[in-house]
Amino acid sequence: MGASGLDSLAPEALRVLEAAEVVVGAERHLGMLAARRGRRRLVPWPSPLVPGLRRTLEEAGPGRVVVLASGDPLVSGIGSTLVRELGEQAVRIHPGVSSVALARARMRWAAEDSDVVTLVGRDADLLRRHLAPGARLVVLTSGADAPARVAGLLVEEGYADSHLTVLGDLGSPDESRADGVAASWDGRPVARLHLVCVRCDATPSRRPRSLVPGLPESAFEHDGQLTKRIVRAAALAHLAPQPGDVLWDLGAGAGSVGIEFARAHPRNEVHAVERDPGRAERIRRNARRLGVPGLHVVEAASADAVAALPRPDAVFVGGGATRQLLDACWSALSPGGRLVVHGVTVETELLLHEARTRLGGSVSRIGVEDLEPIGRLHGWKPARPIVQWSVERPVPTRDPEVVP
């Protein structure tokens, strides 16, 4: 339903509500309903929500259960949770007008010219990935301090002159609007139900971060164990991230390959395995600073960790390759999955040549030389060459359908 309550429901939704034996929802939603004979009871949401969800619905019994929610329940709402927990066939959705649609209408922003970022129940650092000069963002938020947190993050990322519009109680008679600039946002009170629209500064004071693989080394905190920019870009080209892919980043070091894989698409899932606790913590800091705080860091040796990880679509081995580890990665890969391994020693190079002989793929030797001063002149300084093996797991072919 919309912010105006029951009056916002379409006739079909009203009929469904009237036929309900059990109604589940927030206290404010349940407070709109008058007692009616035949409706057994009104059930408020449990707290915490997800752990008590199944129990609440099981206690509601097998009758007609209606859940009341605001706006479109599939936009960072309870609808997504119900479908995930109960299955698609158990849930029918009657959406209202979403807060995103109302916000775009108020801002006069076309859907194709703006992006939605949800921070509801998520880490605010997610916003960092979406910042770009001139970007228009509809940021779904929760908590009275959310606009101040968004403003502070914009200032930290060099977007201090970005314009913020906080829209509260959208669609209700009490709808509100507050405008300001990130650098001078004063932490004024906002409505309990609100979102933040951001016009990113077109000329930020810091260099914007590209989503194309190959961020500069300075973007990462590291102790020297970092896949260099050109080599990292080559690895990611072979890892070929697709939306929703799962990556294992084994021997992650500073986490640069996994972080850039995660930045390629918000639905990508990365598991960075690093045995050194100090480096593991550094990966977490890098992931937060680069806008992918959901990256999973596993503190373990790669060989010990892989059995417990979800099946990958891509695997990167940045160090510590052994035949046992490579075979485990190959066996775990999904059909069409990609495996990329880097080595710097002759022993690892021989291992990769042997693996290519058995499993196919290609081996490349990547040498990078950087121009550096030699006194008053300049010369080329070569980095240690990297041997890269990349291979794709075949997709089983289906027999053509036999037509009688």
Amino acid 37: pLDDT? 67
Q: Which residues contact 391 (CB under 8 A, 6 or more apart)?
A: 330, 338, 339, 355, 356, 359, 360, 361, 362
Q: What is the CATH number of the domain that holds 49?
A: 3.40.1010.10
In a domain, 134, yes or no: yes
CA dist 235 and 203 (Å) reads 31
In a domain, 345, yes or no: yes
pTM comes to 0.89
User: Considering its fold, how many domains does the chain have in total?
Assistant: 3
Q: Are residues 257 and 385 in the same domain?
A: yes
CA dist 278 and 106 (Å) reads 47
Helices (H), 250-341: 256-263, 277-289, 302-305, 323-332
Reference 248, options 238, 256, 240, 258; nearest CA is 258
Peptide bond into 44 cis (omega under 30): no
Q: Within 10 Å of residue 28's Cβ, how many Cβ atoms?
A: 12
Amino acid 365: pLDDT? 96
> Are 296 and 250 contacting, i.e. CB atoms less than 8 angstroms apart?
no
Q: What is the mean pLDDT of each run of 10 residues along the chain (404 residues)?
A: 84 89 88 73 85 82 85 88 90 92 97 95 94 97 93 97 96 92 91 94 94 94 91 97 98 96 97 97 97 97 96 95 96 97 96 97 95 96 95 83 54
Q: Are residues 157 and 276 in the same domain?
A: no
Domain enclosing residue 222, as ranges: 217-392
Q: Within 10 Å of residue 94's Cβ, how many Cβ atoms?
A: 18
Provide φ and ψ at 207, rounded to 5°.
-65, 125
In a domain, 208, yes or no: no
Structural tokens at position 270: 């990365």
Structural tokens at position 252: 């992650």
Q: Are residues 80 and 112 in the same domain?
A: no
Q: Are residues 144 and 221 in the same domain?
A: no
Q: Which amino acid is at 280?
A: A
In a domain, 40, yes or no: yes
Provide φ and ψ at 87, rounded to 5°.
100, 150
Q: Are residues 388 and 291 in the same domain?
A: yes
What is 339-402 written as a DSSP string?
EEEEE-SHHHHHHHHHHHHHH--EEEEE--EEEEEETTEEEEEEPPPEEEEEEEPPPPPPPPPP
CA dist 348 and 251 (Å) reads 14
End-to-end Cα separation, the chain, in angstroms: 53
Amino acid 354: pLDDT? 97
Q: What is the CATH number of the domain that holds 125?
A: 3.30.950.10
Rounded to the nearest 5 percent, the helix, strand and coil shares of the chain are: 35, 20, 45
Amino acid 277: pLDDT? 96
Q: How many CA atoms lie within 13 A of 49 on its CB side?
A: 11
**DSSP class of residue 228?**
-
Under DSSP, is residue 12 helix (H, G, I), strand (E, B) or coil? helix
Amino acid 371: pLDDT? 95
In a domain, 195, yes or no: yes
Provide φ and ψ at 392, rounded to 5°.
-115, 135
In a domain, 45, yes or no: yes
Q: Are residues 271 and 364 in the same domain?
A: yes
Amino acid 35: pLDDT? 65
Q: Which amino acid is at 259?
A: I
Under DSSP, is residue 150 helix (H, G, I), strand (E, B) or coil? helix
